[in-house]
Amino acid sequence: MRFHPLLLASSLVSLLPLVSQAQTTSHFYVGAGANLLTNAPFGSKIWPRRVGPSLTAGWQFTPRLAVQASAAYQWDKDVYSDTHLYSTPTSPVPTFFIRTIDSRYSFLTIPVLLRYTFSSSAEGLQFDALGGVTLVHTRLRTTYSAAPDVPNFPFDYTSSDTRVNLTLGPAVRYAISPKIELMANGLVSAIVSDSRDFNDRLFLNVLVGAQYNFGSH
């Protein structure tokens, strides 16, 4: 019976690599980059493409599976003027005035995705499949002004729109060090609710940036 402690010790030693692998597989990562959005409400007919900063945070819980969330922000503006006639009962002779319309757009895109990696190796080039949902929140503020001054000017108009979309797409990552990876992904999202104000029910969301991995992976 003396060999039982030896067998137990040898069994524990043999399990250490597996325990170590399980501990190093799970880790958090963060990323930053530039995001391209190809379609959104309100301004989609004016600006079909918008570029803005993006941040990503994720947790890899197996060698192949991770969950991540990103937040990208884009903004745009459009200013134009036109000429109108104005008259009142006390001044029946019409006069011209210039109306200026200043429109400001903002777009917040939040993809929440599951990432599947086709290779379990943490080195070199890796290819991923991404899937989940993307929240798109847009806001439009338009200011109307006139010169010379006329009644009812200036005034503002504000509207917003929030949509939840189904998202799928490929991704590629390249490790330039044990902690840092370059990444790029292309997400295609389908609007599952009313597509009012959109040019199309599908839009593309492209992210290019870098990622930092905490711990060993």
φ, ψ at 7 (rounded to 5°): -65, -40
User: How many angstroms separate the CA atoms of 200 and 174, rounded?
Assistant: 33
Residue 81: predicted pLDDT: 82
Tokens representing residue 111 in the block: 């993809």
- Indicate whether 122 belongs to any domain: yes
Has residue 1 been placed in a domain? no
CATH number at 179 reads 2.40.160.20
In sequence order, which residues have a C-beta less than 8 Å from that of residue 41 and are 6 or more positions away? 136, 138, 140, 161, 163, 196, 197, 198
Tokens 């200043």: give the residue: 102
pLDDT of residue 60: 94
Task: Confirm whether 38 is domain-assigned.
Answer: yes
pLDDT of residue 88: 66
pLDDT tens per residue across all 217 residues of the chain? 444 544 434 544 454 444 444 445 689 999 999 998 876 554 445 455 678 999 999 999 998 999 999 999 988 888 878 887 777 666 667 777 788 888 888 889 999 999 999 986 666 899 999 999 999 888 888 888 887 777 777 788 888 888 888 999 999 999 999 899 999 999 998 877 665 555 556 788 899 999 999 976 5
Q: How far is CA 95 from CA 19, 89, 122, 147, 150, in A?
A: 83, 13, 72, 11, 10
Residue 20 belongs to some domain of the structure: no
Domains in the chain, number: 1
CB 98 within 8 Å of CB 146: yes
Residue 187 within any structural domain of the chain: yes
Tell me if 2 is assigned to some domain: no
Q: What is the pLDDT of residue 119?
A: 81
Structural domain for 152, as ranges: 26-83+92-213
